[in-house]
Chains A and B, each alone.
Chain A
């Protein structure tokens, strides 16, 4: 039997910040078309996984494969070129640029202006508020609007794999719904996702599968429905 390669595969990943070891050999994968969550408390190492996958930190050991090819030490722009898009923790919008300029930069690798316009229209259907604000400078927008912009910018890449770090952090409940609804829609369109969240409740409604991370180690792995029923997950992340 020949199995299809996972879209993203992380094997025995170790990341250190100076003397602090943030990840102690993490392994996980995302299959094509699948949405996968990484749940975990503050400081567990979730963002560190995202940074390593994005090329923002160099792993001390371990491998990262994308569509079967090694990308462990590839620069971030080569990862984008292969079809990855990132919504980093805090959004990282280009703060002195307008909404529209941010979105255009999301499609930096797309040279056909018509395609760029079409995607922009699509982003505006996901987040109509961005259309109203398209001439606004990013730094003058609220935290929630900036998060939507960060997602919109990633969608402009038309990604194969969307990597999302804590989009719901600090958002008003209405916005949380909007954001997760957008993620759900993207998943339905076939975008694979790696979603890092503290908001386990909403996340488990979107993803197929999940991992629980504690102190830089994966301690639990399972289908979303099973994780939702797991007493350890309920105690730690579902407030019950």
Chain B
């Protein structure tokens, strides 16, 4: 594997990890809930995106619809379920979240929704491939890298330049006190779910297009792998999640290229997790 391919795969895979995991990190940061059902929101995004793409032929409409519906589903999960468990021990929302994930995934496998099949998502042509002196970036990867770049800039601006971003940071550091300085936590947390879930929905579309495949159980691997990312990232730190996403992608890519015939990708992810936790139990950037 060439250096260029390692770089490209790392960036692509890291971008996907980040888009999925950042919503989890944001939720964990404020509510300390491990929101497993987030992976189902990702699948819903892929499904909605594909349906709208088939209907309209427009990738952009598909992406927007996926983000809107996923965002809304996220808000409904918060206001309809977790909201009533905020004072319970954390194990209660955690178990509920696992249940929710399985429920949604089973539902998606119904014949009138996705069924047990893989569906093609042929929207790769929307983006051009880019040829640089040292290699080519295929069109699906151009899509993932540019859209993740846009999402990163948007997230950075929201977190550092807006009252909402300030409110999120305050709530993540001390939820009770954030309420007492006047931050409407119901609103701030709902918006947190909205944005995090919308990004997961976008990730669903991007992954669906990248692998040209959408299916009801596509959230299985992300459901646990996103946790590798947020644990590595120090539980609740957005910058940590960013670093962990690309570090994990890099480790996977390099190890896959060298010892890949022994270890599958997901085993590598957990090896990295175990290895890092042995030396830094608080995660990469955790304190």
Question: A residues near B, CB below 8 A?
Answer: 54-56, 75-77, 79-81, 85-86, 88, 92-97, 101, 104-106, 108-109, 153, 157
Please, how many residues of chain B have a CB less than 8 angstroms from a CB on the other chain? 18
Q: When the two chains form their complex, are residues B179 and A77 in contact, meaning their CB atoms are under 8 A apart?
A: yes
Q: When the two chains form their complex, are residues A94 and B170 in contact, meaning their CB atoms are under 8 A apart?
A: yes
A161 to chain B, nearest CB (A): 12
Contacts A105-B166, A108-B163, A108-B167; is A95 near B173 (CB within 8 Å)?
yes
A53 to chain B, nearest CB (A): 10
A200 to chain B, nearest CB (A): 26
A29 to chain B, nearest CB (A): 21
**Interface contacts beyond A95-B174, A105-B166: sample of 18 additional A-B pairs, CB < 8 Å, sorted by A:** A54-B180, A75-B185, A77-B180, A77-B185, A79-B180, A80-B180, A80-B181, A80-B182, A85-B180, A92-B177, A101-B166, A105-B170, A105-B181, A108-B167, A108-B182, A108-B183, A109-B181, A153-B181
Whether B186 sits at the interface, judged by CB under 8 Å, is yes
**A86 is contacted by which of B166, B170, B173, B180 (Cβ under 8 Å)?**
B180
Q: CB within 8 Å of A: which of B173-197?
A: 173-174, 176-186
CA distance A41 to B167 in the complex (A): 36
Q: When the two chains form their complex, are residues B174 and A81 in contact, meaning their CB atoms are under 8 A apart?
A: no
7 contacts between A and B (CB under 8 A): A75-B185, A76-B176, A79-B180, A85-B180, A86-B177, A108-B181, A108-B183
Q: When the two chains form their complex, are residues A81 and B173 in contact, meaning their CB atoms are under 8 A apart?
A: no
B86 to chain A, nearest CB (A): 12
Contacts A56-B176, A88-B177, A94-B177; is A77 near B182 (CB within 8 Å)?
yes
On chain B, the residues within 8 Å of A77 by CB distance are 179-180, 182-185
